[in-house]
Amino acid sequence: MRQPLIAGNWKMNSSKADTTDLLNGIKAGIGEIRQAAVAVCPPFPYLYLAEEMLAGTAIAYGSQDLSPEPEGAFTGQVSAAMLKDFGCTYAIIGHSERRLFNAETDDIIAQKYAQAVKHGLTPILCVGETLEERESGKTEEVVAKHLDGVLDAHGVEAFKQGVIAYEPVWAIGTGVTATPEQAQDVHAFLRGRIAAKSQQVADLVQILYGGSMKPNNAEELIGQTDIDGGLIGGAALKAADFLAICKAGDANA
Ligand code: PEP
């Protein structure tokens, strides 16, 4: 049985004051979450607050990105070792907003994945198709390509130390959620692709759904056989909503 994971992707939102409030709000309710693993991914500058405020709690934290390089003359980048230094557990890799706005390729994302694993971080590899790709019947082709970027570079064993997030681009921040059946189909496809190389890894790897997951749809989505939790954007910015989704994770543990 895979443990559900609920991870919040705060994107470029928050401030020192907002981060403090949000973390306090999540801390206040985390005692009621018994089974699901919970993580928050604030912007880089606020990771120090996560380190200070989440010490000794069951709430893990991580980054929204990291450098594909280990160290050196890479102005503006943040290395895996630095994130580990701040106590991060997770690093989101290959989010569609980074693929789109920062021209990240599957090769770069595979390098980031390797950096994360090398430094003891758990990468959350995002895969997902655009609306146009879905409507032209290319969903499986696209998510397979995103998955294969890491599979081909590092082998199936790399997914023993990683998490996958299926995030249909058309559902991110739009309020349109994939139906549980649509999401389950893609999750099953992804797990099957891993199972073709190793059934053991396929049984182990957590595959999260992301894309307008909210308190009112989380339980049904996470209740699907191959959906092991959620990567949450907008709803992760309100402690009550985020905690309600964590409870949906608990209910499906
Ligand atoms: C995301 O961008 O990772 C995400 C899932 O966003 P939202 O929940 O707002 O759709």
Using most ligand atoms within 8 A of CB, pick from 10, 130, 213, 217 the residue to mutate for ligand 1: 213
Among protein residues, the one whose CA lies closest to atom 3 of ligand 1: 233
The whole-angstrom separation of Cα 193 and Cα 42 is 31
Which residues are identified as catalytic?
Answer: 95, 167
Question: What is the dihedral sign for C-alpha 46, 49, 54, 56?
Answer: positive
pLDDT at 231: 98
pLDDT at 253: 86
Non-local (6+) Cβ contacts of 18 within 8 A are none
Among protein residues, the one whose CA lies closest to atom 1 of ligand 1: 233
What's the CA-to-centroid distance between 203 and ligand 1, angstroms?
Answer: 25
What's the CA-to-centroid distance between 210 and ligand 1, angstroms?
Answer: 6
pLDDT digits (tens, 9 = 90+) for 104-128: 999 999 999 999 999 999 999 999 9
Is the pTM higher than 0.95? The answer reads yes
DSSP structural state of residue 78: -
pLDDT at 57: 98
Ligand 1 atom index nearest CA of 236? 8
Compute, in degrees rounded to 10, the torsion defined by CA atoms 206, 209, 213, 219.
-60
Using most ligand atoms within 8 A of CB, pick from 163, 172, 177 the residue to mutate for ligand 1: 172
Among protein residues, the one whose CA lies closest to atom 7 of ligand 1: 233
DSSP-assigned beta bridge partners for residue 91: 63, 123
148 by DSSP, 3-state: which? helix
The whole-angstrom separation of Cα 145 and Cα 61 is 28
Among protein residues, the one whose CA lies closest to atom 8 of ligand 1: 233
Ligand 1 atom index nearest CA of 230? 5
pLDDT, averaged in runs of 10, over the chain (253 residues): 96 98 98 97 98 98 98 98 98 98 97 98 98 97 98 98 98 93 98 98 98 97 98 98 97 89
41 by DSSP, 3-state: which? strand
pLDDT at 1: 79
What's the CA-to-centroid distance between 230 and ligand 1, angstroms?
Answer: 9
Q: What are the chain's domains? A: 5-251 (3.20.20.70)
The whole-angstrom separation of Cα 34 and Cα 192 is 29
pLDDT at 206: 98
Within 6 A (CB) of ligand 1 lie: 9, 167, 172-173, 210-213, 231-235
pLDDT at 248: 97
pLDDT at 194: 98
